[in-house]
Structure 1
Amino acid sequence: MAVLLPLIGTVLVLTALVDIFLTVLHPRSESNLLSIPVAKFLWCGFRWLAQGPPKRRDRILSYGGPTIVVALIGVWVLLLLVGFALIVWPALGTGIVAEQGNTPTDFATALYYAGFSLGTLGTGDLVPQTAPYRLLMVLKSLLGFSVFTLVLSYVLSVYNALTSRNTFALSLHHRTADTADSAVLLARLAAGNDASLYHDISDIAKDLTSLLEFNNSYPLLLYFRYRQTYYALPRIVYLAIDTATLINCALNADRYGAVAEASGAAELWYGSIHLMKELDQSIDSRAKFLPHDYAEPLWREHYDHALEVLNQNGIKTTDIPLSGAQSYLSMRHQWAPYLAKLIKHMGYLPSQIYR
């Protein structure tokens, strides 16, 4: 036991430190040890609890993201605390003794000693007597202080990224005149001159690229879900990718061909595809789709609606609507599966995301 317990404790401590390193100092969606499994497990629990009316579901799921962050921090602290407690437990009464009286040798005392060293720069009423345990006490104090600083900076970074995502969501929502309609968004973007159209598309593409990098760096952002659907991550993705699709399929090629070939439109399309593929790695692959997700007649109806909205706003549309519709359906098939999985995973109904 004198060898086994410290060995188990060392494994727990190293597990926590490796996951903190991968999550905080090397933040990539594919680089994690515990953070993504913990997030998936808790999110499944929230989705199970949220079964019922939409208002109840939205309310419960809105607490998912913050709870996952707190739980992950708790897992790190618990692993460090229990790990160091197991390391010092065999030394109670020998290498570590009480300043006065007999030294308790139970596990609770080991937890107390480990927690005191991790949380402060002191030793309390238990004092290490040998050089290895004195150095271990210093190491625990330094790790405790470092972990606290890293975790605090990580939480601040996550919420800064979340604020940027919410700002982008609101910008898209209001650009659609609060309709969540990509056709209205494109009509308003194209209502000005070509220079403003290029500029606006490029701005949206840049915001989307920033969102992609935020989600790569902080995968837990996926689980922040608000009651208001205009903040929904699937809606952000839908408005971006469907607008890019309509740019290629609905606008008149002679009048807006240069816009469709411009770098901003390319960034909007490929950035959206890239974002959905990255998010897809964090989504349960067993998610089942609804019939609505692949209803081509509804897609065609949406395309016809887009042409109508664009024409009503004086935007010149394609001369060959049938060919444009076929192109639209073909392009939508490329991203519809990813969006359907994202909507399902986040606990939304398709009608909440697009209309």
Structure 2
Amino acid sequence: MAIFLQLAGTGLVLVSLVDIFLTVLHPRSESNLLSIPVAQVVWYLFRAGAQGPLKRRDRMLSYGGPTIIVTLIGVWVLLLLLGFALIVWPGLGGGIQAQQGETPTDFVTALYYTGFSLATLGTGDLVPQGATYRLLMILKSLLGFSVFTLVLSYVLSVYNALTCRNTFALSLHHRSADTANSANLLAHLAAGNDTRSLQQNTASIAQNLMQLLELNNSYPLLLYFRYRQTYYALPRVIYLAIDTATLVKTALDQDHYSSVIQAAGTAELWCGGLHLLEEVDQAIASNSGGLPKEPQEPLWREHYYRALETLKDCGIHTTQNPAGGANAYVSMRRKWAPQLHKLIRYMAYKPNHIFQ
């Protein structure tokens, strides 16, 4: 029985340490053991409990990200605490003795003794007697201190990454004249029909998108930080970036803007947006759904023609073949719209809050 308990405890400790290693020291979206499942469960509970008026629902969902971080840390600590408690439990009254009186041998005492060691508070009123339990106490103290330091650095890194994401979101929001309209964004980027300025602006947005892609890959829990202000929404950031690239390729005059259409920045914006959607899709539950059942292509064409009018009103040279451009736009949008709608639904947004 004692061996079984200690093996089970060792397994719990290893699970916790492996997940801490994968989440903190090897931060990639594809390498995790507990972090993504824990995040999905907590987010599901928040979505299920977020009922009532829109403002109240958005306010409740805005606490989802911080709660996931706290829950994940709690799971790590709980696994370490339970695991080491199972390891030392058979040693109570033998290899571990009370300084005064009879040594309790219940599991709560094992938790108490383990908690003292993991918190680096010492041994309390229980003292290890043999070399094995003394070395185990040192190991628990070292792990407790290391886990505390790693968790603190991870939390700081997550919030630094979140600040970078929010800064990029605000930049796109204000560049699009405080709207979710990619045509407005492109009109400002291409103001004056200056191809060099448009190329530089596109490259700048693409660089920020590449940074966001890497941050999301390193810290996939960023996905679950959902603010009440929709201009911070990750789906809106992705939409503005990737739809702008789609309009550059299909709505602008092919001759005047050929250097921009073929530029590396435009390719980064397009491919990076698709890549980011693929990365996010891996962290989303498979039953989140895709496009709505109603036909979407007529709405896409309507959006495209409205974008052409917006660009023309701003004096931007647009394509000389609007019908062909609309077909190309619809064809390109099919490549990213299903994943974007899946993300919008998973994050409990309404489509009209994300794009116009």
TM-score (norm 2): 0.98
> Is 1:331 equivalent to 2:307 in the alignment?
no
Q: What does the per-residue CA deviation read over 1:35-87, in whole Å, with 9 as the maximum and x for residues that have no partner? A: 00000011111110113332222111101000000000000000000110110
Tell me which residue corresponds to 2:292: 291
- Within 5 Å, give how 1:19-98 maps onto structure 2: 19-98=19-98
For 2:167 and 2:294, the matched residues in 1 are separated by 28
Three-state SS of the structure 2 residue aligned to 1:97 is strand
Tell me which residue corresponds to 2:115: 115
Asked whether the 8 Å contact 1:293–1:340 carries over to 2, the reply is no
1:45 and 1:320, CA in 2 relative to 1: closer, same or farther beyond 3 A?
Answer: same
For 1:22 and 1:322, the matched residues in 2 are separated by 50
Question: Structure 2 counterpart of 1:318, which letter?
Answer: T
For 1:154 and 1:134, the matched residues in 2 are separated by 30
Gaps of 5+ in 1: none
Tell me which residue corresponds to 2:139: 139
Three-state SS of the structure 1 residue aligned to 2:97 is strand
1:30 and 1:210, CA in 2 relative to 1: closer, same or farther beyond 3 A?
Answer: same
How many residue pairs end up in the alignment? 355
Three-state SS of the structure 1 residue aligned to 2:127 is strand
Question: Structure 2 counterpart of 1:5, which letter?
Answer: L
Please list every run of at least 4 consecutive aligned residues from structure 1 whose deviation after the TM superposition is greater than 4 angstroms.
Answer: none
Tell me which residue corresponds to 2:263: 262
> Is 1:212 equivalent to 2:213 in the alignment?
yes
For 2:350 and 2:37, the matched residues in 1 are separated by 25
Among the aligned pairs, what percent are the same residue? Answer: 70
* Deviation (angstroms), 1:283: 1.1
- Within 5 Å, give how 1:136-285 maps onto structure 2: 136-192=136-192, 193-285=194-286
Asked whether the 8 Å contact 1:19–1:33 carries over to 2, the reply is yes
Q: What does the per-residue CA deviation read over 1:133-190, in whole Å, with 9 as the maximum and x for residues that have no partner? A: 0000000000000000000000000000000000000000000010111000000000
1:158 and 1:102, CA in 2 relative to 1: closer, same or farther beyond 3 A?
Answer: same
1:293 and 1:56, CA in 2 relative to 1: closer, same or farther beyond 3 A?
Answer: farther
Question: Structure 1 counterpart of 2:167, which letter?
Answer: T
For 2:324 and 2:52, the matched residues in 1 are separated by 43
Gaps of 5+ in 2: none
Asked whether the 8 Å contact 2:290–2:339 carries over to 1, the reply is no
Three-state SS of the structure 2 residue aligned to 1:127 is strand
1:294 and 1:206, CA in 2 relative to 1: closer, same or farther beyond 3 A?
Answer: farther
RMSD of aligned Cα (Å):
1.1
Asked whether the 8 Å contact 1:172–1:239 carries over to 2, the reply is yes
For 1:280 and 1:35, the matched residues in 2 are separated by 16
Q: What does the per-residue CA deviation read over 1:114-134, in whole Å, with 9 as the maximum and x for residues that have no partner? A: 000000152111110000000
Asked whether the 8 Å contact 1:205–1:265 carries over to 2, the reply is yes
For 2:295 and 2:263, the matched residues in 1 are separated by 30
* Deviation (angstroms), 1:288: 2.9
* Deviation (angstroms), 1:338: 0.6
Moved more, 230-239 or 1-10: 1-10
TM-score (norm 1): 0.98
1:292 and 1:265, CA in 2 relative to 1: closer, same or farther beyond 3 A?
Answer: farther
Asked whether the 8 Å contact 1:273–1:335 carries over to 2, the reply is yes
For 1:2 and 1:289, the matched residues in 2 are separated by 51
1:294 and 1:151, CA in 2 relative to 1: closer, same or farther beyond 3 A?
Answer: farther
For 2:96 and 2:285, the matched residues in 1 are separated by 48
Question: Structure 2 counterpart of 1:260, which letter?
Answer: I
Three-state SS of the structure 2 residue aligned to 1:253 is coil
Asked whether the 8 Å contact 1:292–1:350 carries over to 2, the reply is no
Asked whether the 8 Å contact 2:99–2:125 carries over to 1, the reply is yes
Asked whether the 8 Å contact 1:64–1:223 carries over to 2, the reply is yes
Tell me which residue corresponds to 2:11: 11
* Deviation (angstroms), 1:102: 1.1
